[in-house]
Amino acid sequence: MKTTVTGRHIEVTPALKAYVEERINHLARYSNQATEASVILTVEKYRHQADVTVNVNGTVVQATEETSEMYASIDQAVEKIERQIKKLKDRLHDHRQRVEPLSVDEAGAGAPVLGRALVAERPAVAAMTPEDAASSLDRGSDPFLLFRHAATAQVNLVYRKADGTVGWIAPTP
């Protein structure tokens, strides 16, 4: 990786330049697309500041750290850059994992596809009372049952709770 080290109010010694290049070259293990790095070292009385800018595949990652020692400033700035590169890499990786929803032609003439693994179904909804729906749920193995309330004609849901009891969800009028 091409590294430029610049000093403001400080002479960049060969040892300091070698240390910066060594720390910057460690960034290659997180991204082999890091092509160029610029490090500006500044000293103002007791403030030692390190500004690190890295170009990662067209994205500029920048960090600034200020401590009372130059080597500590360099270390902390490079650690910030490492975290930013990891986060950038994770974001790119997560973005590539997303699957585009299928069009209706690709999904077939059946039920429409709403997402990666979500398919809309139109179940037959029978008219019954909540008590009948609860007893029907007890007889079957399904975790829930949709039904049309006999008195209100609205769609309701009964479901089996974790403790074995039956819950009932009804829309508000």
Domains of the chain, first to last: 2-97 (3.30.160.100), 119-169 (3.30.505.50)
The structure's pTM equals 0.54
Q: Is pLDDT above 70 for 49?
A: yes
Cβ partners under 8 Å of residue 120, min gap 6: 111, 112, 113, 114
Q: Is pLDDT above 90 for 43?
A: yes
Q: Is pLDDT above 70 for 55?
A: yes
State the pLDDT confidence band at 118, using cuts at 50, 70 and 90: low
